[in-house]
Amino acid sequence: MSLHLPTRRVVQTAQPSLRLQYLLPRIQRRNAWFGWGSSNTAASKPLTAELSKRERQQRLMERMVDATQGQSIFDEEIKAPERRAKKKSKVEGEGGGSAMADPSRSKSFIGASRVREHMERALDPDPRWRIRYQKKKVMQMVRANGQLSHKELIRRSEKEVESKSTPLPTSTKKLVHLSHQIVGKTVDEAITQMRYSKKKMAREVKYQLEEARDMAIASRGMGLGVPNGEVFDKPRKIQTKDGRWIDVSDPTTLYVDESWVGKGPYRGARIQYHARSRMSFMWRPTAQIHIRLKEEKTRIRQHEERVEKQAKKAPWVHLPNRPVTAQRPYYSW
């Protein structure tokens, strides 16, 4: 005998596995029933009192701020300002309690960590690569027997400085014309050219030229021929790499050797709508200008090298005496 009963009725008559009291919101209580009546012996130990939370924080702070990580020959120079500050705060505290009135002096600031392991992450991120590079350079030096190459001699005797601007609100197609305009000119001529230019980005290029000039003078000691007495008695006439003849009286005069532009991050975008329900993005570009300044010593050396190379060339022969080869019994035309 079979019973024909719908499944939903069988489910409705079954007792639910979850009671309604578990579905209602309840307040949770957590109780610890262990450890009652026992004295806290850990807090009474002198070692635990010494390594309290505040003391551990103070030790970590001192370890991170310590610049020497132990005894060194620079301890006196490093710790002298700290001793003066402590002495000053002590005198002010004895005088009238002004040090206590200023709560900012008692606060300590944890700056960048100076722990050796932490600093090596930034200063020496890949020590194996550094060791391989140093080994390769030592082998090259031993192989060359201490002699410097032509490029190394130039880098030691001639100075240069490179400057890069911040992303400018323009495109590379517009900025490249100003870049071409200042290449090969002295810094003063380039600044004058940008001063009277009608282009909007000319003032930004002028500012970058002035910043590169100041950096070259302050950090590299370039352009100091007049104070040091390195001026020629008579101006020298040289030819630049683009074929212009110029007169040089000060070999330390700064000039723009190279200038190029590059793309920067986009400022934003807007939607441009087309026919047939199509659209595209119009990006707002930015560009950066790079400037490399050198001294006139470089152009003088390049001119002398070109003259020497031209003098070493063999004279050109109109009809060189070559042997006749591959003769045929017929005419070649």
**Least reliable range by pLDDT among 63-67, 92-96, 109-113, 203-207:** 109-113
Residues 307 and 169 occupy one common structural domain: yes
Give domain status of residue 273, yes or no. Answer: yes
pLDDT tens, residue by residue, 159-186: 999 999 999 999 999 999 999 999 999 9
Band of residue 268 on the pLDDT scale cut at 50, 70, 90: very high
Domain boundary among 146, 171, 200: 146
Domain containing 175 — which CATH number?
3.90.470.10
Q: Could you tell me if 291 and 232 lie in one domain? A: yes
Region 113-131: what's the mean pLDDT?
A: 83
Residue 157 lies in a domain: no
State pTM to two decimals: 0.60
Q: Domain check: are 121 and 174 in the same one?
A: no
Q: Minimum mean pLDDT among 138-147, 154-163, 253-262: which range?
A: 138-147
Overall average pLDDT of the 196-218 stretch: 97
Alpha carbon separation from 178 to 150, 254, 278, 284 (Å, rounded): 33, 18, 37, 20
The dihedral region occupied by 223, where left means phi > 0, alpha psi between -120 and 50, and beta the remainder, is left
Q: Which of the listed ranges 67-71, 113-117, 271-275 does the model predict with the highest average pLDDT?
A: 271-275
Q: What is the pLDDT of residue 162?
A: 97
Query: Which residue has better confidence, 78 or 260?
Result: 260
Closest CA to 255 of 182, 150, 157: 182
Q: Virtual CA dihedral for 245, 247, 250, 255, nearest 10 degrees?
A: -40
User: What value does the mean pLDDT take over residues 132-153?
Assistant: 92
State mean pLDDT over 302-308: 96
Query: In terms of domains, do 169 and 277 share one?
Result: yes
293 sits in which H/E element: strand 287-295
Q: Which residues pair with 245 in a beta bridge?
A: 239
Whether residue 142 is found in the same domain as residue 194: no
Q: Check pLDDT > 60 for residue 35.
A: no
Say if CB 264 and CB 285 are below 8 A apart: yes
Same domain, 124 and 168: no
Give the domain range for residue 133.
Answer: 112-146
Does residue 167 sit in the same domain as residue 303?
A: yes
Mean pLDDT of 108-117: 61
Query: In this prediction, what percent of the chain has a pLDDT beyond 90?
Result: 52
Confidence at 99, pLDDT banded by 50, 70, 90: very low
* 329: in domain: no
* Higher pLDDT among residues 219 and 91, named by residue: 219
Is 250 contained in some domain? yes
More confident residue, 57 or 258: 258
Judgement on whether residues 171 and 308 belong to the same structural domain of the protein: yes
Phi, psi of 261 (to 5 degrees): -120, 160
Q: Mean pLDDT over residues 261-278, rounded?
A: 96
Q: Which residues, 6+ apart, have CB-to-CB distance to 23 below 8 Å?
A: none
CA 292 to chain centroid, in Å, comes to: 17
Beta 287-295 vs 279-284: how paired, if at all? unpaired
| pLDDT for the residue 2 | 61
Q: Can you read off the two tokens belonging to residue 82?
A: 């700290």
Q: Is 261 helix (H, G, I), strand (E, B) or coil?
A: strand
Mean per-residue pLDDT over the chain, rounded = 83
Q: Quick one: which of 291, 287, 154 has its CA closest to 216? A: 291
pLDDT of residue 101: 44
**pLDDT the model gives residue 7:** 66
Structural domains in the chain (count): 2
User: Greater confidence, 213 or 24?
Assistant: 213
The residue type of 265 is P
Answer whether residue 266 is part of any domain.
yes
User: pLDDT category, 25, cuts 50, 70, 90?
Assistant: low
Whether residues 272 and 180 fall in one domain: yes
The rounded Cα 240 to chain-centroid distance in angstroms is: 33
> Which pLDDT band holds residue 215 (cuts at 50, 70, 90)?
very high
Average pLDDT over residues 68-73: 56
- Whether 269 maps to a domain, the answer reads yes
Asked if residue 135 and residue 237 are part of one domain, the reply reads no
Please write down the long-range contacts of 95-99, taking CB distance under 8 Å and 24 or more positions apart: none
Q: What pLDDT is attached to residue 91?
A: 77
Q: How is residue 235 annotated by DSSP?
A: P
Helices (H), the chain: 7-13, 20-23, 41-44, 46-50, 53-65, 75-95, 98-101, 116-123, 127-143, 150-157, 172-182, 187-195, 202-219, 225-228, 296-312
15 in a domain, yes or no? Answer: no
Same domain, 276 and 306: yes
Same-domain status, 118 and 248? no
Residue 189 counted as domain residue: yes
